[in-house]
């Protein structure tokens, strides 16, 4: 079991570097514009395929979409759902990686459990965007669902409740 945890932690530590070309706010605006547009499935240019291959050498089930200047790639790494966002020149802007409850920093887990003590963890994603890291935590209690966006220090930035 200890060897398995070490393997998971070692894999997580090898995340590719996010580009510093854009400010955090510029990245937010680019991703929002991308998500608001109608994306198209695409075969990316060779430079993007090469950069992605270097960034995520163990990726499988790779699917690309674009809105012109932003490329979104969905893929799996070691049975985890992942997404990465690149600009047209190959700058990595943001990653989203499915994460297990056991991998959450204790302060993040404790913040979520303190806010919603009777709920159980459903889906967890680690988001790296620019210089920022967030955890998107989805929790459920019967027919109620809450989605939290939490900083690594335990601060809850956003909260959305679905009934």
Digit-coded pLDDT (tens) for 6-37: 333 434 446 899 999 999 999 999 999 999 99
CB of 85 closer than 8 Å to CB of 97: no
Structure tokens at 96: 């989203």
- The domain limits of the chain are 17-95, 101-162
CATH of 17-95, picked from 3.10.20.740, 3.10.450.360, 3.40.50.800, 3.30.160.70, is 3.10.450.360
pLDDT digits (tens, 9 = 90+) for 35-81: 999 999 999 999 999 999 999 999 999 999 999 799 999 999 999 99
Give the residue carrying structure tokens 């939290």.
148
CA distance 39 to 127: 21
Decide: helix, strand or coil at residue 66. Answer: strand
CB of 57 closer than 8 Å to CB of 67: no
The pTM for the full model equals 0.88
Q: Does the pLDDT at position 110 exceed 60? A: yes
């Amino acid at each position: 079991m200890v060897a398995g945890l070490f393997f998971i932690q070692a894999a997580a530590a090898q995340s590719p570097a996010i580009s510093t070309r854009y400010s955090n706010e510029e990245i937010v605006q680019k991703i929002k514009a991308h998500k608001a547009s109608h994306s198209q499935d695409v075969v990316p240019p060779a430079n993007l395929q090469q950069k992605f291959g270097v960034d995520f050498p163990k990726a499988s089930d790779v699917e690309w979409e674009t809105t012109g200047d932003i490329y979104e790639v969905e893929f799996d790494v070691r049975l985890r759902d992942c997404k990465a966002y690149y600009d047209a020149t190959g700058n990595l802007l943001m990653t989203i990686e499915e994460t297990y409850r056991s991998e959450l920093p204790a302060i993040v887990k404790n913040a979520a459990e303190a806010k919603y003590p009777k709920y159980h963890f459903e889906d967890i994603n680690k988001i790296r965007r620019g210089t920022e890291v967030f955890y998107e935590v989805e929790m459920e209690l019967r027919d109620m669902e809450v989605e939290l966006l939490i900083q690594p220090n335990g601060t809850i930035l956003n909260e959305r409740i679905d009934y």
